Structure 1
Amino acid sequence: MSALPRDSLVAVIGAGTMGAGIAQVAALAGHPVRLYDVAPQAAERAVGALRQALAVLVDKGRLGAAEADAAAARLHAAASLTELAPAGLLIEAIVERLEVKQALFRDLEAIVADSAILASNTSSISLTAIGAALARPQRLLGMHFFNPAPQMRLVEVISGLATEADCVTCIVDTCRAWGKTPVRARSTPGFIVNRVARPYYAEALRLLGEGAADAATLDALYREAGGFRMGPFELMDLIGHDVNYAVTCSVFSAYYNDPRFLPSLLQKELVDAGRLGRKSGIGFYDYRAGATRPQPQTLAAAPAPAALRVEGDLGPAEPLLARLAAAGISLTRDAGPGRLVCGELTLALSDGRTATARAAAEQRPDYVLFDLAGDYASTPRLALAAAAQAAPTALADAAGLFAAAGIQCSALADVPGLAVARSVAMLANEAADAVNQGVCSAADADTAMCLGTNYPRGPLAWADALGLPWVVALLDHLAAGYGEDRYRVSPLLRRLCLAGRPCHD
C-alpha cells in the first residue's frame, strides 16, 4: 500500500495545540481536513487560528500565498463525529486516558469504512491496549507527532500487536509525503524517544542528588562538552517537571520497576512544591522577574606545564593530544594504561571508575579524571574530578593544562563516570536494549533521538565512534561501583562488543 491519496479526507479529533498542528501538516500536504473537538466551538476557533497562522507564514516569506490559500480552503471544522465518516485516516490527539481513547475509536469504527486507518497520537499508552476494545484493531496504529507538529520532522509510527503491516507501510509513506521523517516502533512503554531519553534526565538528576555539582555547572558541561542543545535541567524546566516526572513514572511502572527508569526524589520534590519550571516561574532555575541566572563554576588554573608524557592510548580522548600540542605543550609517548603524566600529576579519561579507585589501583595519588567531550578539538569546557588522595593543588594543575588549550574546567565531586561519559554510555545502552527487544532498528533509534530530542548524534552512532569496548567497560565499572542493576549492559551491546562489530553494520 502506498501513501494515502491526496484527495483522501484526513480527520483530526482534538483541536488543541497538537491536533491543530497535525491538521495544518495534513492540509499543507494537500489533503482535505476536518477538525473535530468535543468542546463547543473549539474546532471552529482552531481552524480560524490555523488560517491566521498560514497568513503569518506568508508574511514572513516562509510560504507562498497561493499555497497558504489552498491549504486554508482545505481546513474545515466538523460539528459532529458523523461528519468524519468519509475519512481515510483519522488521527486522535485527545486526553491521555486509555478508556477515553478506546471509547472514541469504538465510536469512529461504527461510522467509518472498514478500510479507514485509525491513528492515535498517544505518547505513552499501549496501542495494543487501545486496540483491545475495537472490532478492527488491525486498522489501528500510532502516529506520535512531536510538538510543534508543523516544525518537528519526526513521527513515531507504532504498531500494536494486531496492526496490519499494510497500514504501517501506508502511514510511513504518508508521513514521508507530508515532509516528515517516520520511524517504526513496536508498542512498548515509551516507544523510542520517551524510553531512550530517560537516562539523559536520570543520570543528571543522580549527579545533582550526589552533590557532584550544581545544576548550572552540569548544564554547561552537557551543552559545551557534550554538544547537547540544552542541558538536562534547563530542558526539564522547559518540558515541565509534572510532565517529565509523569513520563518517567509511567515508563518505570510499565517496565515493572526496572531500576534503569527509577524516578528521582529530587524531581518529585519539585513537583510536590509546584515548582514545575518555566510554566510556574521556578524549577531548577528561577524565571521570575528580576531573578539572576546562576553561572557555571569554573576552576582557577595554575600555569600550564611545558611538557607532558602520554602513556598508552587515550581511546576516545586521543584527539585531545593534537589540541594540546598546538598549544605549545611538548608531548612524548610511552607505553602505559592510557593516561597523561606531568611530574606527580596523572590525568586520564573517565572509564567509569572514580579517580580515587584509579589512584589506588595505579599507585599514583595525584590522580585527576577528565570527562568525555563530543569533540575534543573544539570543546570549550571539560569536567574534572580529583582523587581523595590527591594534593590540594591537583585540580588547579590539571585545569592549567587544559586552559593552555583554551578549555575551561569545572570541578565535579569524585563520582563514577563523571557526567557526559556516563550519560552518553547509558543513552547508547538504552537504545541498544530497545533494538535488542525488537522495538525498533538501530537506524530508527538514532534517527528518533536526533530528530525528536535534538541530540548531537544518535546514541548508537556515538557508541560506534567511541568504540563499544570503551562503552561496555564504562558501564561495567558503573555497575560495580554502584552495585546496582541500573547499569547492566544490554545483551546486544555486549554481544556486538565481543564480536568486534559496531551497532551500525
Structure 2
Amino acid sequence: MSTQDFKIETLGIVGSGAMGRGIAQIAALGGLSVRIYDTNPKALAAAREYLSDTFAKLIAKGKLKEADAHAALARIRDAGDTGELSDCDAIVEAIVENLDLKRELFRELEAVVGERCILASNTSSLSITAIAAGCAHPERVAGFHFFNPVPLMRVVEVIDGLRGDPRAGDALMDLARRMGHTPVRAKDMPGFIVNHAGRGMNTEGLRVASEGVASFAEIDRIMREQAGFRLGPFELLDLTALDVSHPVMESIYHQFYEEPRFKPSPITGTRLAGGLIGRKAGEGFYRYVDGKQDVPPEPAAPTELPTRVWISRASHEGREQVLKLIAKCDCSVHIDAGHTPEPDSLIIVTPLGFDATTAAVNEHLDATRVVAVDTLFPLDTVARRTIMTTPATSPEMRDAAHALLAFDGVPVSVIRDSTGFVAQRVVATIVNIGCDIAQQGIATPEDIDLAVMLGLGYPQGPLALGDTLGATTILTILRNICTALGDPRYRPSPWLTRRAQLGLSLTHTEELR
C-alpha cells in the first residue's frame, strides 16, 4: 500500500439497513459521493425511499434546504455488485455481526478496490484485528463504529487493529468530522470505549435488582433523580432492546475471559427468552401503551416525623449533611447529641460502600432503629433522596426517617439493605471501569469521557464524574464493598487507586519518554 496520505472523496457502504442508510445520509450531506450496495435489491430500494422521505421531512421542518437535499440524493448511487465499488476511497461495511461473513466480504472487496482504499467495519463487538486477519492487506482495515440512529448520535469510534496503518485511522477521523460527527480513537479491545464503559450502568443495575434491593422502576428513579443520569439502567435496556444488548453483554464478558466486572445477569437472559425485550416489543422492564412507558406510581410519603434523631459520627461529611437538612425542616425534631443514642432516638447512619447492617454492627447500634441515608450526592441539591433499612429496622423508624427526609417535598426512595445503596455502587462501578479503560491504554482520558457523554448520554464522562465526587470517595466506596462482599468485581482500578492516593485528577496522564 502506498505511503501517501489517504484521501476520501468517494465512500462505499455495504449494507442498507438502519446503520448503512444512516451513514449514507450523513456522508452525502457532508459532500461525499456515496456508493451503497446490498445483496438484497429490495432492501436497497427501501433504503433509497427512506432517505428520500427523511430529506423531505427535514426540508418540511426547515432543517435542510431543498437544493441541498436534492444535491445529497444525487450523490448517492446504488451499486449492483461489489465491482461497482472499485472507485471508492473507503468502504464501510454495515452487515450482520458475523466474523466469517465480514472476513469473506473484505476478501471480496480487496479483489476489486484500489491499493489505498480503506476497508472499515461498523462492528460494535467484533475484533478489528480478527476481521483484518482474513485480508491480504490488514494495514488498511480499521473500525468505524457509529451508533443508532446515526444522524442523531453524533459520535463515532475509530479503532486501530494491531496491524492497522495509523494513517488509515487518521483519515477516518477526518472523514467523521466532515460528516458532522465527533470521532474518538480506540485500541482494538472488546467493546471499544462506549460498549465497554456502558457495562457499569447496566450490569451493576442488574446486580442491584437481582439482590432484591429495589424494583426496576425504583432503581431507575434513583439513577435519574438522585445521580442525575438521563435514563436509568432499565429504561436504557428497554430503549436498546435485549435482543441487542444481552448478546453484547455476553460477548464482552467472554471476550474479557470472564472478567467479574462484566458478568451478565440471568435476568436479561430470562426476559429475552420470554420476548420481553423492550420498547419496540411493547413490553420489557416496563409496559408501553401507545408507545408511552407505563410507570407504577409511588406511594405517598409518611408525615409523622421522629421526635428525636441521633446521627452517627462515623462520617463527618455525612453527619453535617443530615444536620443541615434537619435545620431547614423548621420542625420540632430534637437532635440527640450524645455519644450513644437515647433509647427512643431514630438512628441515622451515612455509610460509604457499607450496608446499613454493617454500619450498625460496627458502631454497636440497635439495628431496629437504624436507617441509612445516602449522602454521596448532596442532600440539599438532589431531586431524590435514598434511605435504606437493616433487615431488623422497625416499620415505625423506617417511616419516621422517610417523613424526615421528605419534609420539603423531595421524593424519597426506600430500599432494602445494600452495600453502597444504589447510586453509590452504580456510579462507583461506572467510574472504576472508565479508569480501567484508561489504565489499559484503550483510549485517552479525554476520548473516554467524550465518547461516554456523546454515546451514552451521561451527564459527565466517568473520569470527570469521579473527579466531581472525589477520587478518594469513589475509592472508599469500592474498597468497602469489596470488604463487605469479597467480590472481585468491585476491586479498584490501579488508575483510580494511584491518583486518589496522590491527589491527582483521574484525567491526569503520565508523561512517558
The TM-score with structure 1 as length reference comes to 0.91
SS in 2 for 1:182: strand
How many angstroms apart in 1 are the aligned matches of 2:34 and 2:320? 55
Q: Does 1:403 align with 2:401?
A: no
| Amino acid of the structure 2 residue aligned with 1:386 | T
Deviation by residue 1:102-132 (Cα, 9 ceiling, x = unmatched): 1111111111111111110000000000011
- The unaligned stretches of length 5 or more in structure 1 are none
How many angstroms apart in 1 are the aligned matches of 2:221 and 2:298? 6
Shift in Å, 1:375: 6.0
Q: Does 1:450 align with 2:453?
A: yes
SS in 1 for 2:296: coil
Partner of 2:51: 50
How many angstroms apart in 1 are the aligned matches of 2:4 and 2:227? 40
Q: Does 1:491 align with 2:494?
A: yes
Partner of 1:25: 26
How many angstroms apart in 2 are the aligned matches of 1:176 and 1:156? 12
Q: Is the alpha carbon distance of 1:252 and 1:431 closer, same or farther for their aligned partners in structure 2, counting shifts above 3 Å?
A: same
How many angstroms apart in 1 are the aligned matches of 2:236 and 2:5? 35
SS in 2 for 1:279: helix
Matches within 5 A, 1:204-243: 204-243=205-244
Shift in Å, 1:318: 6.7
Shift in Å, 1:346: 3.6
Partner of 2:105: 104
- The unaligned stretches of length 5 or more in structure 2 are 509-513
Partner of 2:297: 295
How many angstroms apart in 2 are the aligned matches of 1:487 and 1:78? 51
Q: Does 1:185 align with 2:199?
A: no
| Amino acid of the structure 2 residue aligned with 1:23 | A
| Amino acid of the structure 1 residue aligned with 2:356 | A
How many angstroms apart in 2 are the aligned matches of 1:172 and 1:476? 39
How many angstroms apart in 1 are the aligned matches of 2:338 and 2:16? 63
How many angstroms apart in 2 are the aligned matches of 1:95 and 1:25? 21
> Which of the residues 412, 417, 421 maps onto 1:418?
421
SS in 1 for 2:395: coil
| More moved, 367-376 vs 422-431 | 367-376
Partner of 1:352: 353
Shift in Å, 1:209: 1.5
Shift in Å, 1:281: 2.6
Partner of 1:172: 173
Partner of 2:284: 283
Deviation by residue 1:16-70 (Cα, 9 ceiling, x = unmatched): 0110000001000000111110112422331232022111101011112222121
Shift in Å, 1:184: 0.8
CA contact (8 A) 1:146 1:154 kept: yes
Task: Using the aligned pairs only, state the percent identity.
Answer: 38
CA contact (8 A) 1:14 1:94 kept: yes
How many angstroms apart in 2 are the aligned matches of 1:261 and 1:494? 20
CA contact (8 A) 1:306 1:329 kept: no
Q: Is the alpha carbon distance of 1:46 and 1:253 closer, same or farther for their aligned partners in structure 2, counting shifts above 3 Å?
A: same
Deviation by residue 1:432-478 (Cα, 9 ceiling, x = unmatched): 11111111111111111111111111111111111111111111111
| Amino acid of the structure 1 residue aligned with 2:422 | A
How many angstroms apart in 2 are the aligned matches of 1:48 and 1:254? 39
Shift in Å, 1:10: 0.7
Q: Does 1:71 align with 2:67?
A: no
How many angstroms apart in 2 are the aligned matches of 1:409 and 1:206? 21
Partner of 2:386: 383
How many residues are aligned here? 503
| Amino acid of the structure 1 residue aligned with 2:27 | A
CA contact (8 A) 2:312 2:319 kept: no
Q: Does 1:201 align with 2:175?
A: no
Shift in Å, 1:404: 2.4
| Amino acid of the structure 2 residue aligned with 1:50 | L
How many angstroms apart in 1 are the aligned matches of 2:440 and 2:429? 16
RMSD: 3.0
| Amino acid of the structure 2 residue aligned with 1:479 | C
Shift in Å, 1:280: 2.6
How many angstroms apart in 2 are the aligned matches of 1:245 and 1:269? 10
Partner of 2:484: 481
CA contact (8 A) 2:7 2:171 kept: no
The TM-score with structure 2 as length reference comes to 0.90
| Amino acid of the structure 2 residue aligned with 1:488 | R
How many angstroms apart in 2 are the aligned matches of 1:131 and 1:203? 33
How many angstroms apart in 2 are the aligned matches of 1:401 and 1:64? 57
How many angstroms apart in 1 are the aligned matches of 2:229 and 2:84? 45
Matches within 5 A, 1:265-284: 265-284=266-285
